[in-house]
Chains A and B, each alone.
Chain A
Amino acid sequence: MTSRIYDVLIIGAGIIGAACAREFARAGLRIAVVEAGFGGATFAGMGHIVVMDDSEPQFALTRYSQQLWRELAPELPPDVEYMPCGTLWIAADDQEMQEVRRKHEFYAARRVPTEIFDPRALYEAEPHLRPGLLGALLVPEDLVIYAPCAARFLLHQAQAYSCDLYLDKVLQVRDHAVILQNRGGLHAGAVINAAGTWAPELTPGLEMRPRKGQLVITDRYPGFVRHQLVELGYLKSAHTLTAESFAFNVQPRITGQLLIGSSRQFGVQTNAVDNHIIAGMLARACHYLPELSRMSAIRTWTGFRAATADKLPVIGKCPGRQHLYLATGHEGLGITTSLATARLLLDQFLQRAPAIPAEPYLPNRVMETAHA
């Protein structure tokens, strides 16, 4: 067993772990990060940084974090592919147009700039959308990044201070130590479990389920789509707890490739591509962007999001454990809320006041009460 001692050891070098590493290292702490293989949601998802308003806590966290990303933008290297393209929430019927107006008011009251598009404005902004749509809400401060490179950037920033990276698998979490598959033990004053869908394995009693997603990416069609385009029905998809659903969600990448999502499934363990999901998802996408059907699709892949029952992430000290912190359960908002998650966690660690209330994300609510 090695006897190196860290102040904080972080399990997972996905976007959450990497953000925490950067935040904690910059605060002068000795950090270690352990990563098992780059298989988490960070490396599979869309990299969409988006404010959401499903609840006040969700809004507060996404908005706070989005602003942190915007502040970080000048430092991001080119391979992070930072695109301030904004999101267009698309309304296909009156009910959805009402939702557009509701969101607009909600965001206006909270000083998030948005703009309501009538059909003329919508088709001027996105001429390839199918006719017959009623309008949209533009959220101009939403962003798109290439998440794997963003995670790497954050980790590099941490390593500029004091951060050791171990490519290994954590078998067990103990007080003040983790046991690794290859390297034996690593000692630390505190441990952060940022292992995403693997987090419950390491912290039994943590109530989280993997929620599968599937994506398709096309060849390059620069300028075809200018914003991240999402149907308002997406919200029903993301926020129900039904077994499976999909919604129109298309993202332009800086390369001109189109990333087509999105889907959600519970209870599916394999990472194989599921045909009925792909079929439905692509059909939905072609419904909104008819020309998509003739485009060249290069790859399909899957990933798993870590999902909690109340759709809020878990950020804080693990109840009943003195030295274990949790930073996980971000579902589809991991990239978005990573920077704020790290900030809030550091605030708790240093016992200083956070910029937004931290109570809604504390772990008590997702720990099995029967667990000792």
Chain B
Amino acid sequence: MPESVQLKINGVPVRVPLGSTVAAAVLLAGHSAFRRSVSGEGRGPLCCMGICFECRLTIDGQQHVRSCQLLCREGMEITLGE
């Protein structure tokens, strides 16, 4: 049973402990800003429980997916918002 999971964040491979959420993985990879708000501010997770939508990312091609409640899966491709 693997202890860690590898995924790609903006094309860069990142290895995180099994059971981590995507939001935690993105922060572990050193990104604080996940996306830009409508007026261009960098934003990161706020509520961490699926309500604020500040943590949304493009995951495996699907836009606007909340990352704070999603467990990392092997091979996931994450793209941060511009």
B62 — nearest CB in chain A belongs to which residue? A294
| Chain B residue contacts of A220, Cβ below 8 A | 38, 64
Report if A240 contacts B (CB, 8 A). Answer: no
Across-interface contacts of B32 in A (CB, < 8 A): none
What 0/1 readout, one digit per residue, does chain A (190-224) give for beta carbons within 8 Å of chain B? 00000000000000000000000000000111000
Chain B window 41-74, contacts with chain A (Cβ cutoff 8 Å), 1 for yes, 0 for no: 0000000000000000000001110000000000
Query: CB-CB < 8 A to B64: which residues of A?
Result: 219-220, 295-296
User: How far, in angstroms, from A220 to B53 measured CA to CA in the complex?
Assistant: 13
- The dominant DSSP class at the B interface is strand
Least distance between B54 CB and chain A CB atoms (Å): 13
A257 shortest CB reach to chain B, Å: 10
What number of B residues sit within 8 Å (CB to CB) of A?
4
**A294 (CB) vs chain B CBs: closest residue:** B62
The 9 A-B residue pairs with the shortest CB-CB distance in the complex, in nearest-first order: A296-B64, A219-B64, A294-B62, A255-B38, A221-B63, A296-B63, A219-B63, A295-B63, A220-B38
Instruction: Give the residues in chain B near A295, CB-CB below 8 Å.
Output: 63-64
Shortest Cβ distance from A302 into chain B, in angstroms? 24
Distance from B2 Cβ to chain A, minimum over Cβ atoms (Å): 30
DSSP majority for the A interface? mixed
Contacts of B19-37 to chain A: CB distance below 8 A = none
Q: Taking the nearest CB of chain A, how far is it from the CB of B10, in angstroms?
A: 19
What's the least CB distance linking A152 to chain B, in Å?
20
Q: Could you tell me the distance between the alpha carbons of A294 and B62 in the complex, rounded to whole angstroms? A: 8
Residues of A contacting B38 with CB < 8 Å?
220, 255
Min CB–CB distance A269 → chain B (angstroms) = 34
Which residue on A lies nearest to B61, using beta carbons? A294
B57 to chain A minimum Cβ distance, whole angstroms, is 12
**Minimal beta-carbon separation of A293 from chain B (angstroms):** 12
Specify which chain B residues have a CB less than 8 angstroms from the CB of A221 in the assembled complex.
Answer: 63
Beta-carbon nearest neighbor of B81 in chain A: A220
Sample of 11 A–B contacts (CB below 8 Å): A219-B63, A219-B64, A220-B38, A220-B64, A221-B63, A255-B38, A294-B62, A295-B63, A295-B64, A296-B63, A296-B64
Q: Which residues in chain A, 198-256, are within 8 Å of chain B measured between CB atoms?
A: 219-221, 255
Complex Cα distance A219/B63, Å?
9
Residue of A nearest to B66 (CB): A296
Whole-angstrom distance between the alpha carbons of A220 and B62 in the complex? 13
Beyond the given pairs A219-B64, A296-B64, 9 more chain A to chain B contacts, judged by CB atoms under 8 angstroms and listed by A's residue number, are: A219-B63, A220-B38, A220-B64, A221-B63, A255-B38, A294-B62, A295-B63, A295-B64, A296-B63
Residue of A220, A255, A294, A296 ringed by the most chain B CB atoms within 10 A: A296
Nearest residue in B to A296 (C-beta to C-beta)?
A: B64
Bound form: Cα–Cα A295–B63 in Å? 8
Task: Tell me the bound Cα distance from A295 to B62 in angstroms.
Answer: 8
Which residues from chain A contact B62 at a C-beta distance below 8 Å?
294
Give, as a whole number of angstroms, the nearest-CB distance from B11 to chain A.
22
A255 — nearest CB in chain B belongs to which residue? Answer: B38
Q: A221 vs B63: C-alpha distance in the bound complex, in angstroms?
A: 9
Report the bound CA distance from A255 to B64 in whole Å: 15
B34 vs chain A, min Cβ distance (A): 15
A111: shortest Cβ distance to chain B, in Å? 39
Complexed CA–CA distance, A221 and B62 (Å): 11
Contacts of A294 in B (CB 8 A): 62
- Distance (Å) between the CB of A296 and the closest chain B CB? 5
Question: What is the bound-complex CA distance between A296 and B64, given in angstroms?
Answer: 7
A221 to B64: give the CA distance in the assembly, Å: 9
In the assembled complex, the Cα of A219 lies from the Cα of B64 at a distance in Å of: 8
CA–CA, A53 to B38, complex, Å? 37
